[in-house]
Structure 1
């Protein structure tokens, strides 16, 4: 969430940044300046009236001590009290209106983010690896997996509905192997601490990372406390769309010491997304599922070190692809293609020969103090009397299902089997080839 004082002092800058995001700033901000001025005027008048009330209260005391009649002054005091209560109520309404506006405004793009309306404005930063050459027509992952008998979309749909999958045999083992490989890499070599958070969170937690209230329709809400009607509760539950949500909120409402930063966490969890509005896109295979596995990377940093930590986090995710021998490219997202909470995002896109295209496999974002302000996460610099908002960063390290399908497409063989990348062989019980499963 943006700081009210910053928006007030930099309204033209905020409007310009929102335009870069493809938004209509007038629609997003509404009559922000008028509301803010009216709120400030109401607060100022309340303070003036309180001062006058205090003066009259002292006058009443003096009159009574002198044995005089203070009735008329006391009546003025009662009248002022009513005015003050009315103005305070009005100021609270204006405050709530401004807060609602601020909650709906996305983070502002960093100055080095390229301008663009959509993914076509993204900037290529680097490419890595050579695309595999085949002496046969490479197949898409769904054809490979179904022929091998390692997935079943029809039975998944029978028990759960569309955009679900059941994994069998070496396919199930491959998912588990990838998660274990990623966690070992990030904890042993990259210095992250592994966390296993709850897979359900309350609405206040989703507000902290920016999913609520704007993106409620993209989430799965449990019906344990009635339908979501915009109220932030502590006792309701939602399935997590990513482990970024529970882990970022571990420190909600807390103040950390500067010496604790940076904090780096990694987690392997299922992720649940309703994907509202995406019907008709990527309906085949495992690109866009309602449930999938992901290894996430989360960092808490100081504002001064967050750009450096963002580069480190992105490189940590890239290392997974490089160890697996999967060609990829790094894209710097443009202003019109960024997520709600991000100020700067790198997308890693893996090459899929069966589809002859790159697909996003990780988004690595620096959220600045946007989430920290929503969740109330602060730190105290060494020797400082006042605490400050820290910066939060997150990225996929990686999306397990998309890494799985990238392996199927890049390591497929003419006989329909799939070679196991050497880095994964120890996690696959020494098996070097994924063959047809008999079930």
Structure 2
């Protein structure tokens, strides 16, 4: 994933890039490194083209010598042949040098972020994430089915039960929905078995989530769960290889063909468009991806140790949109609206925030998070991330489109957004739909639960 090299070659664009990096609150030294390497590449490119021109000129001399039947043709051709061999060697050397410098430039480009949208707050302080919208159900479904005379409205306007609220981790145990002990023995740290009604509820969320997107024009897609390293590098950030991705070593005869487990279906669905050229008339392309996701969570040591809120293996239904540069901003708004409608339908209180520039990953020009209310936590926690990556991913993938009035090919814009991270949403439902005796099943999920609308405590 890289930004367009033009931002390093044009003075006005370079200032835009530097300003964007400053808004991300990062050092601009990587920008200077790219400029230096690109300058070296351009000089090498000039030398390479000049050497090829010299080779072409000598070849023309040989042709002219033969055509004119010079008297000393043998001597002349011998000298020219020697010169051709020397120039060919120079061309080959310069070609290899050019390739090496290009690879260095590509690696350096990966340390520079996408151009941040002007509407994004320019700070690294996540306390400054801008709250854009909130949703609070007027009469929660749990309250309708199990009235609580001691319930009170909290400072966020959310009706909170009068009884002692349990955490999602405790609630999973009380419905007999998880086995963390054996899960840890079998799969290691953060391993788990999801069982019984909790498993059913998870499957219901997957089916409901997929149908929710399909009904809105999305194409269902089940992608590969592992990817080649070179393809993954086009869809993931450098830091992901150190902190997030699981590697499956595949080394044979000194050749590294290692594979990487996907951290999100966004990655293989983006790769679906590698080297693709499509008509603008076929855009946008809307994908509803469903997959198991695998994350090392190397930077999350000590966080969320209880329950299944933060785990190494989980299921997710994802929105992935491929569109034109002109439509990407409006598609971004549409995608977060779809996620909002999904959580409204489940009756979960939430807020939508615009993430500050300093907390954006390198690919995102702008990102919205949808944070849902967790009663026992007494706060909002992220359930959805929705990012506009513009052409940042498409550039490495060489995914482009053309219009009917021009032959020019332009890189597509790619956007991604969680619809539902199954285990996290399950945790949220458990906390928000708890009663003293069990869990109310949100009405949209009941048809996917074989009619079960209440899960009693068994422990």
Classify the TM-score, shorter chain.
Answer: over 0.9
- Scaled by the length of structure 1, what TM-score is found? 0.92
Q: Quote the residue 1:92 is aligned against.
A: 99
| Contact 1:209–1:341 under 8 Å retained in 2 | no
Q: Quote the residue 2:59 is aligned against.
A: 57
Q: CA deviation at 1:118?
A: 3.8
**CA separation of 1:226 and 1:242: change in aligned 2, threshold 3 A:** farther
Q: Quote the residue 1:394 is aligned against.
A: 416
Q: Quote the residue 2:364 is aligned against.
A: 342
Q: How well do the aligned residues superpose, as a CA RMSD in angstroms?
A: 2.2
Q: CA deviation at 1:93?
A: 2.2
Alignment map for 1:95-134 (pairs within 5 Å):
95-130=102-137, 131-134=158-161
**CA separation of 1:382 and 1:213: change in aligned 2, threshold 3 A:** farther
* 1:213-235 Cα shifts (integer Å, max 9, x gaps): 753441111234479x9x9x7x5
| Contact 1:129–1:328 under 8 Å retained in 2 | yes
| Contact 2:180–2:192 under 8 Å retained in 1 | yes
Q: Quote the residue 2:450 is aligned against.
A: 429
Instruction: State the aligned residue count.
Output: 431
| Contact 1:192–1:264 under 8 Å retained in 2 | yes
Moved more, 165-174 or 301-310: 165-174
Q: Quote the residue 1:278 is aligned against.
A: 300
Q: How many angstroms apart in 2 are the aligned matches of 1:97 and 1:215?
A: 18
Q: Quote the residue 2:175 is aligned against.
A: 148
Q: Quote the residue 2:270 is aligned against.
A: 248
Alignment map for 1:200-211 (pairs within 5 Å):
200-211=226-237
Moved more, 271-280 or 85-94: 85-94
* 1:61-86 Cα shifts (integer Å, max 9, x gaps): 44452222325455444443343333
Q: How many angstroms apart in 1 are the aligned matches of 2:209 and 2:98?
A: 51
Runs of 5+ consecutive residues of structure 2 not aligned to the other structure: 138-157
Q: CA deviation at 1:126?
A: 0.8
Q: Secondary structure at the match of 1:101?
A: helix
* 1:369-408 Cα shifts (integer Å, max 9, x gaps): 1111111111121232132111111111011111111111
Q: CA deviation at 1:186?
A: 1.2
Q: How many angstroms apart in 2 are the aligned matches of 1:57 and 1:223?
A: 48
Q: Secondary structure at the match of 2:357?
A: coil
Q: CA deviation at 1:205?
A: 2.9
**1:197 has 2:223 as partner:** yes
Q: CA deviation at 1:262?
A: 0.7
Q: Residue 67 of structure 1: which of 63, 71, 74 is its match? A: 71
Q: Residue 83 of structure 1: which of 84, 87, 90 is its match? A: 90
Q: Secondary structure at the match of 1:251?
A: coil
Runs of 5+ consecutive residues of structure 1 not aligned to the other structure: none
- Scaled by the length of structure 2, what TM-score is found? 0.88
**CA separation of 1:87 and 1:198: change in aligned 2, threshold 3 A:** closer
**CA separation of 1:57 and 1:399: change in aligned 2, threshold 3 A:** same
Q: CA deviation at 1:291?
A: 0.6
Q: CA deviation at 1:204?
A: 2.9
Q: CA deviation at 1:338?
A: 1.1
| Contact 2:132–2:353 under 8 Å retained in 1 | yes
Q: How many angstroms apart in 2 are the aligned matches of 1:299 and 1:127?
A: 25
Q: Quote the residue 1:220 is aligned against.
A: 246
